[in-house]
Amino acid sequence: MQVRDKLYINGLWIAPKGNKSIDVINASTEEVMGRVPEGTEADVEAAVAAARAAFESWSTTPAAERAAYLFKIQEGLKARMDEIGKLIAGEVGMPVKLATMIQAGSPTAIFGLYAKLLGSFAFEEKVGNSLVVREPVGVVAAITPWNYPLHQISAKVAAALAAGCTVVLKPSEVAPLNAFVLAEIIHAAGLPAGAFNLVTGYGPVVGEAMARHADVDMVSFTGSTRAGKRVSELAAATVKRVALELGGKSAAVILDDADFAAAVKGTVNACFLNSGQTCSAHTRMLVPESKYEEIAKIAIEVVKGFTVGDPFGGAAKLGPLISDVQRDRVRGYIRKGVEEGAELLAGGPDAPEGLTKGYYVRPTVFGRVNPNSTIAQEEIFGPVLSIITYRDEDEAVKIANSTPYGLAGGVWSKDEDHAKRVAKRIRAGQVDINGGPFNLQAPFGGFRQSGNGRELGRFGLEEFLEYKSLQLKPQG
């Protein structure tokens, strides 16, 4: 068991102001696998003060020097990838091979991406008689979720540090152990004291103290739409910048000329990755009414390949959900789908056979789902796919845009230009064409109640920068 009894503030591991701790539960065994401090408002005060004091020096550090630190952090992450993969497989439940590749691999790549980007990013340009410069926004409060814990941390922390901001991080209290590994790596890299600070704790205490703090210039939050609204309310009192990456109810539109086998397999994969605990999961599959029976049969066969079991066992494609609360919530949605009259094609609310320990849910597919029903409108955050039929392309687009969200989606067609035309009509921040892979250099974020702002690539760097115009006197 990993016991972490100190916070990382101002370049030092220091005892928290309070004396309470938070247990971290292994998602597949239901046993305590670690313990972290339950931070207080006083800990936030200390961390923000350290970040504020470090800002002037870090913000004026040349970009090449900042890049060198980021490269060192990348190397540190690379050296501990196996350890991080196993740790997050325990915390979150993703099968360990996938966790090492995604949950550890992505953060490693992100730090390298921002280190390289600093070599070419234009922090200033001439516009008429003005020199327009980009300067760091200031002290950033980064509040991150549990589903891709270190990926989300890195998307914020690497970009903010690259921009010249200083950071106070509050990771999810449900999966916080990986953040301590990053803090160790950052410390070993010699990052200046106060540039990065780590405070663990609960959202209503630590998160809210960060969001309303007058010396925090920006809050970057990833989590539920409900919590994002609360962050916005608190931040409004000091008119700080807020970037939000929130929920989703993404639709994959399968057009009538698509390769159905590839489209269904790709959509199910995009729905069930990380046991459905993905904000951009394609949880609604929109199919032509005339092709429903054919596509439903394919879906039933594809789901049979999604075995559920121990994330460390080597055979399972799906591990458990993160917690008993989440498991019960997802099973409640499955029961709701049955009650509302959807056709249960695979799975169901009962526990998977033979798994008496761990927060497991059967991968579930519903057919002929009413687009206005609960399971078609609300984010479930579990391995639950809703198949919805449409009569024509206009209706497909209307259904795709019919939820409060707009994070992601997909379009499948043998005619790529046709798929792109449909994709442009979908109100979402990211739309995959025929299963196009995730791209760390492209902007990630949503429309409407999926949030505002963008992460990753140069677009993510720009989130942490302010414009300043220096009006120069014309020569001559």
Identify which of 273, 5, 13 has the alpha carbon closest to the alpha carbon of residue 151. Answer: 273
pLDDT digits (tens, 9 = 90+) for 176-233: 999 999 999 999 999 999 999 999 999 999 999 999 999 999 999 999 999 999 999 9
What pLDDT shows up at residue 354?
Answer: 87
Phi-psi region of 445 (alpha: psi -120 to 50; beta: other; left: phi over 0): left
Dump pLDDT digits (tens) for 257-287.
999 999 999 999 999 999 999 999 999 999 9
pLDDT at 475: 81
| Longest Cα separation, the chain | 84
- Separation between Cα atoms, residue 283 and residue 272, nearest integer Å: 8
Residue 188 has a pLDDT of: 98
Give 92's pLDDT tier (boundaries 50, 70, 90): very high
Which residues are annotated as catalytic? 245, 279
Q: What are the tens digits of pLDDT across the range 359-415? A: 999 999 999 999 999 999 999 999 999 999 999 999 999 999 999 999 999 999 999
What percent of the chain is modeled with pLDDT above 90? Answer: 98
Contacts of residue 427, Cβ cutoff 8 Å, sequence gap at least 6: 401, 406, 447, 448
398 contact partners, CB below 8 Å, separation of at least 6: none
Mean pLDDT of 330-335: 97
> What is the architecture of the domain spanning 250-439?
3-Layer(aba) Sandwich (3.40)
What would the mean pLDDT of 350-365 be, rounded to a whole number?
93
- Inform me whether the pLDDT recorded for 109 exceeds 90: yes
User: Tens of pLDDT along 67-90?
Assistant: 999 999 999 999 999 999 999 999
- For residue 204, the model assigns a pLDDT of 96
Render pLDDT for 120-174 as a digit per residue (tens, 0 to 9). 999 999 999 999 999 999 999 999 999 999 999 999 999 999 999 999 999 999 9
Residue 6 has pLDDT above 80, yes or no: yes
User: CA-to-CA distance for 58 and 193, rounded, in angstroms?
Assistant: 10
Strands 196-198 and 166-170, sheet pairing: parallel
- Residue that has been written with the tokens 């059967």 in this structure: 362
Say what the pLDDT of residue 243 is: 97
**Across residues 233-239, what is the average pLDDT?**
97
Q: Which amino acid is at 126?
A: K
Pairing of strands 364-367, 218-222: unpaired
Reported as half-sphere exposure (CB side, CA atoms, 13 A), residue 401 has a value of: 15
Beta carbons within 10 angstroms of residue 156's beta carbon = 27
Q: What is the pLDDT of residue 439?
A: 95
Of the candidates 3, 15, 9, 6, which has an alpha carbon nearest to the alpha carbon of residue 169? 9
Are 385 and 299 spatial neighbours (Cβ–Cβ below 8 Å)? Answer: yes
3-state SS of the chain is: CEECCCEEECCEEECCCCCCEEEEECCCCCCEEEEEECCCHHHHHHHHHHHHHHHHHHHCCCHHHHHHHHHHHHHHHHHCHHHHHHHHHHHHCCCHHHHHHHHHHHHHHHHHHHHHHCCCCCCEEEECCEEEEEEECCEEEEECCCCCHHHHHHHHHHHHHHHCCEEEEECCCCCCHHHHHHHHHHHHCCCCCCCEEECCCCHHHHHHHHHHCCCCCEEEEECCHHHHHHHHHHHHCCCCEEEEECCCCEEEEECCCCCHHHHHHHHHHHHHHHHHCCCCCEEEEEEEHHHHHHHHHHHHHHHHCCCECCCCCCCCCECCCCCHHHHHHHHHHHHHHHHCCCEEEECCCCCCCCCCCCCCCCCEEEECCCCCCHHHHCCCCCCEEEEEEECCHHHHHHHHCCCCCCCEEEEECCCHHHHHHHHCCCCCCEEEECCCCCCCCCCECCCHHHEECCECHHHHHHCCEEEEEEECCCCC
Produce one character per residue of 419-439: b if its CB has 16 or more CB atoms within 10 Å, e if not.
beebbebbbbbbbbebbeeee
What is d(CA 248, CA 15) in angstroms, rounded to the nearest whole number? Answer: 38
pLDDT given for residue 14 in this prediction: 97
Domain boundaries, given as residue ranges, for the chain: 2-246+449-470, 250-439
**Structure confidence at residue 42 as a pLDDT band (50, 70, 90):** very high
Domain covering 2-246+449-470, topology: Aldehyde Dehydrogenase; Chain A, domain 1 (3.40.605)
Dist CA 175 CA 197 (whole Å): 17
Beta strands 451-452 and 241-245, pairing class: antiparallel
Start-to-end CA span in the chain (Å): 72
pLDDT of residue 356: 86
Contact status, residue 132 vs residue 142, Cβ threshold 8 Å: no
Q: Name residue 422's amino acid.
A: V
Q: 316, 317, 351, 356: which is closest to 331 by C-alpha?
A: 351
Q: What rounded mean pLDDT belongs to the chain?
A: 97
For residues 282 and 408, give the distance between their C-alpha atoms in angstroms, rounded to a whole number. 8
